[in-house]
Structure 1
Amino acid sequence: MYTEISGELPAEFLRQLAAQIRKIRDGLAEIEGTAESPDGLILATVSGCGELIGLDLNPRIYRTTDSQALETAILDTVDAARRSAEAEVAGLAAELLPHGELAAGPPIGHRVPV
């Protein structure tokens, strides 16, 4: 790994690290988290980067006039899909990080107030 004398990383270690990073990058492109609302009227899909890439609303959803409940149901379903994708991303990243040392940080797609 890191050599104390020269302060440089061995070339083989860097090649392996680059390969692992490419694997994670490629894996992120394939990850999707999907969740369905408890009533089955909402289906949300989120990418491995936390981007909402699909939102299917069953036409029966428009029968309710409670827009606040609809908003909550959509947000909860998208959040569940994001957590699903996040779990897959964590599994992929765990291959690169030392065992049990997954970096803590905001969840994917988390917006930090400015």
Structure 2
Amino acid sequence: EPVIGSLRFWSLTGRLERNQAMVAGKREAGARALGALERSLQDTPFLVGGSLTIADIAVYAYGHRAEDCGFSLADYPAVSAWIDRVSGTIGSGYPVHPYSIDPHSGG
């Protein structure tokens, strides 16, 4: 999921063009990661079995924002259902902070 984090950052801060040489590889790796999640979540409600673990929270942090960088979660129904389960378990107050052009600017 760090791949999705990089793509999301570049997408939301206008840096895709600056990093164009790496974008195709990152998109391919992101699609592979979402595909692997899809396959593993087809038979289990959470990543490590029947209940929420730190693994779910760690992967959810970037996975639920995959659409911000061009991935369609509709293509991954088991991942979408898992995102709903994790979100329903941790609650609606999960913070998502916007990126700015300068992430150190505070704005």
TM-score for the superposition, normalised by structure 1 = 0.30
The structure with the larger Rg is 1
Higher-strand-fraction structure: 1
TM-score for the superposition, normalised by structure 2 = 0.32
